[in-house]
Amino acid sequence: MHLQRRVARFALIGLLTLALSACGGGASINMHGQTIHMHADRISIRDRGGDTAEIKANGDLRIAGKPVLLTPAQRVLTTRYFTQAQIAMFYGKQTGLAGAHMAGSIVGSLFSALFHDDSRIINDTAHAQTVNLDRHVDRLCAEIGAIRATQDQLVARLPAFAPYAAIDQRSVKSCFVNAHASNS
């Protein structure tokens, strides 16, 4: 892969990581005008109209500020959604760390390449770091796909949750496609 493609890939991963940025102990995913905010104790999903659904760690659900009575099967799904969002937040942080490590490694290899007058050092370093970063991005995209599957099951069992179904198949597919677009 050419150095320019690696730099473009690094920029793309940086943008993906910013989309799932971990600040103040929380993170958010923006999908087509909807936002999923993840915190240690709750997940908030804002629909396009500005209303919010909130899922607590124990599976409690509030829609537009009102508690929703859940069946045991629905509570299993809300609890799973919360857990999967926490895992996605963890993978987002890991992806960010891997991206930062990649940047540091590439900058270090730049100095080494200048010192040794060998640009292959940069290419070799970027390739090795890209493989590591790919693993992190793939885990993050897979977890977003898992959240989508749970979200769809929840919508099927609780239609009132439909306006908060922020992750569609196109979003999951584009996560993987965009993450690997620079490989070709």
Digits of tens for pLDDT over the chain (184 positions)? 454 455 445 544 554 554 444 444 567 776 666 778 888 899 999 888 889 999 999 999 999 999 999 999 999 999 999 999 888 888 877 777 777 767 766 666 666 666 666 667 666 766 666 766 778 788 888 888 999 999 999 999 999 999 999 888 877 777 765 555 544 4
Q: What angle do CA 31, 144, 165 make, to 5 degrees?
A: 50
Nearest in space to 99 (alpha carbons), one of 176, 7, 35: 7
pLDDT score of 27: 72
Could you tell me the two tokens for 174?
Answer: 């584009």
Kindly report the three-state secondary structure assignment for every residue of the chain.
CCHHHHHHHHHHHHHHHHHCCCECCEEEEEECCEEEEECCCEEEEECCCCCEEEEECCCCEEECCEEECCCHHHHHHHHHHHHHHHHHHHHHHHHHHHHHHHHHHHHHHHHHHHHHCCCHHHHHHHHHHHHHHHHHHHHHHHHHHHHHHHHHHHHHHCHHHHHHCCCCHHHHHHHHHHHHHHHC
Write down the pTM of the prediction: 0.71
pLDDT score of 113: 61
Nearest in space to 148 (alpha carbons), one of 34, 16, 17: 34
pLDDT score of 146: 92
pLDDT score of 101: 66
pLDDT score of 22: 43
Could you tell me the two tokens for 68?
Answer: 């929703």
Nearest in space to 91 (alpha carbons), one of 14, 131, 134, 143: 143
Alpha carbon distances (Å) from 105 to 109, 123, 128: 6, 11, 10
Q: CA Rg, the chain, in Å?
A: 19
